[in-house]
Amino acid sequence: MQYTADKYNRMQYRRCGNSGLLLPALSLGLWHNFGDVDDSEVYRKTLHTAFDNGITHFDLANNYGPPPGSAEINFGKILHEDFYTHRDEMIISTKAGYLMWDGPYGNWGSKKYIVSSLDQSLKRMRLEYVDIFYHHRPDPDTPLEETMSALDLIVRRGKALYIGISNYRPEEAKKAIDILRSLGTPCIIHQPKYSMFERWVEEGLLDLLEAEGVGCIPFSPLAQGLLTNKYLQGIPSDSRAGKVHGFLKREAITQSVLSKITRLNTLALQRGQSLAQMALSWILKDKRVTSVLVGASSSAQLLDSLQCLNNVDFDSEELNTIENILKD
């Protein structure tokens, strides 16, 4: 397939901490919309749209689907059929840390689980290595030294180029970063949950990552769809909150939340943006953020998200208005 000649000029790239790696300001996350329950032609087109607009980073995990593992299989199939000659132009990441298979070796952070999980992920995606491999969450029962040594081993075996962590709080992140540095395999990136509605990363994590030279790539920047126009008129039956098995629960959409997103939407329109675009821009305004992970149920939705890059600057009045809305 022929791609637009200037696709890399369409995207902004940011350095990932102190590493040599550049990531696109927006990266495509495959947490939802790429499983066996989804339309393969729709997500194939989404992947092509992403790459044609300079999105070079595609983020997965062992359990993405549903069913778990299917997102990696489906991505690997399209990569092999459509993108394989472009492999060296892509950053592909995956993770391990949540439940993937039955028994004592299919969850958390043991060396047994982490090494086995990446081996399975590589087979599903038909790859020899991933560019970034993350530990998906801290394990309270496994020594952190064991988990980090597993990540170091993976790099030394050539199965990953870079190492990252996800969902680690500041104190845990500091310990992990120090251990990895002592092993000679630095942590280059942290993937936390961050949005206008989820602000814990501002309580020390962003400062820590800046001081340690580690990049940051937030996930769920739209708060599972709350920070879009989807819920301004109620709860659609096909939305995440409208589905029984969805991660966003109906009871989370209170009158207070609806009032906030309505007022935020008004400000977004004044900025010439949709609510979703403003929510993405709001995260990207912070230079400590390397990239933002966005999901997309269609190529049209992805193209809409990309428009956030046209206006990532906020004046003090806009920022104060946002803070006042969120605090009410």
Residue written as token pair 């009158």: 255
User: What whole-number distance in Å separates Cα of residue 102 and Cα of residue 258?
Assistant: 40
pLDDT of residue 244: 46
Average pLDDT, the chain: 95
Instruction: Please calculate the CA angle 258-316-192 and round it to the nearest 5 degrees.
Output: 60
Cβ-in-10-Å burial (0-12, 13-18, 19+) of 214 comes to: buried
Span 48-58, pLDDT tens digits: 999 999 999 99
* CA-angle at 216, arms to 198 and 257, nearest 5°: 15
Q: pTM (2 decimals)? A: 0.94
- Reported as a pLDDT band with limits 50, 70 and 90, residue 310 is very high
Q: What is the pLDDT of residue 211?
A: 98
Could you read off the pLDDT of 224-269 as tens digits, one per residue?
A: 999 999 888 766 555 554 454 455 666 778 888 999 999 999 999 9
Task: Please state, in angstroms and rounded to a whole number, the distance separating the CA atoms of residues 15 and 216.
Answer: 10
Instruction: Write out pLDDT tens, residues 179-196.
Output: 999 999 999 999 999 999
For 90-107, write each residue's pLDDT tens digit. Answer: 999 999 999 999 999 999
pLDDT tens digit string along 132-164?
999 999 999 999 999 999 999 999 999 999 999
Distance CA 187, CA 25 (A): 20
Angle at the Cα of 45 from the Cα atoms of 274 and 249, rounded to 5 degrees: 50
- CATH code reported for the domain at 8-228+287-297: 3.20.20.100
